[in-house]
Amino acid sequence: MEFLIQNAHAQDAQGSDPFSFLLPMVVIFAAFYFLLIRPQQKKQKAHTALVAGLKEGDEILTAGGMLGKITGVSEHYVVVKIAENTEIKMQKSSVSQVVPKDTFDAV
């Protein structure tokens, strides 16, 4: 019966290529960069440009889902008219998008 069982031999660790471990790590980092990091940076850059370009008269949608018209702009805040005789002051960063003109009036 001994002839059916063969001894297992460990691979020689000193003979392995050091780049065999490095190459998969580089591939994984590249995949994370192009699939996660880069799109997030592009999205953040677009939102920063949107916030910087806000002006009076723009109709906006907030991150909370409120629709309104900008009536005042300062460095960090905007004043938004959300209904007749109702205005709120909010941070510019909570604006998620600028909607087409007359969207606020149509609702």
Which is more confidently placed, 40 or 12?
40
Residue 12 has pLDDT above 60, yes or no: no
pTM of the predicted structure, to 2 decimals: 0.70
What architecture is domain 55-107? Roll (2.30)
What residues have CB less than 8 Å from 61, skipping those under 6 apart? 67, 95, 96, 97, 98, 99
DSSP 3-state of 70: strand
pLDDT for position 9: 56
DSSP 8-class letter at 10: -
Query: CA–CA separation, 10 vs 79, rounded Å?
Result: 71
- Both tokens of 14, joined, read 């000193």
Query: CA–CA separation, 50 vs 41, rounded Å?
Result: 14
**Most confident by average pLDDT, 16-20, 70-74, 98-102:** 70-74
